[in-house]
Chains A and B, each alone.
Chain A
Amino acid sequence: KQEVTQIPAALSVPEGENLVLNCSFTDSAIYNLQWFRQDPGKGLTSLLLIQSSQREQTSGRLNASLDKSSGRSTLYIAASQPGDSATYLCAVRSDGSNDYKLSFGAGTTVTVRA
């Protein structure tokens, strides 16, 4: 069974600081990994999707890396802003799964202080 862990559970930084969010998974046989953002009381917004053959993906101030062999992904957010305050979820789709299920981490709640 795929287990996904996100550390730290919460993070508070001053505006302008770079954010580093970690995600680890137990089974390296993955199809892809997706990072989501969730605002309080809202749905999940997709940030980045990394296929198993890729090492990283970038979108604006966001960069996500993937190291399958060590079972890790890292989401970097450059020059953080108060609007980046949210919970960030990492989700893994395992390879060979017939149900295409996403295994989620518990999330990292980020607060960016103005």
Chain B
Amino acid sequence: NAGVTQTPKFQVLKTGQSMTLQCAQDMNHEYMSWYRQDPGMGLRLIHYSVGAGITDQGEVPNGYNVSRSTTEDFPLRLLSAAPSQTSVYFCASSPRGGDGYTFGSGTRLTVV
């Protein structure tokens, strides 16, 4: 049972580059979300999805896009990377209603 799988684990980008962080879950969870974790700021919600075809913005959505074409996958796209997006990114999923969250192992992103 894989749970929530995130790729890549580490990534270095140059300012202005774009990339996609992948997230997949095999638990048939309806709800998926992306958080970023920064020292002194805790974890903050970027985007979330309550089901396939439905996405919405969280607290810190600027500079990021998401889509949810299937129940399993919820990729996060950085449109034009900036040093302020240097962070650790976590994908999380939960059954409908948010009853307990499962987190992926994270992607550590550095933008230079």
Contacts and interface: CB of A to CB of B under 8 A. Distances in A.
Given A100-B50, A102-B45, A36 B103 contact: yes
A102 B42 CA distance: 11
A93 interface: yes
Interface residues of B, number: 26
A101 interface: yes
Interface in A56-106: 89, 91, 93, 99-102, 104-106
Nearest to A1: B59
A43 B101 contact: no
Contacts, number: 57
B102 A46 contact: yes
B56 A99 contact: yes
Interface string B87-112: 00010101001111111111010000
A28 interface: no
A20 interface: no
Nearest to A107: B42
A100 B48 contact: yes
Contacts of A51: 99
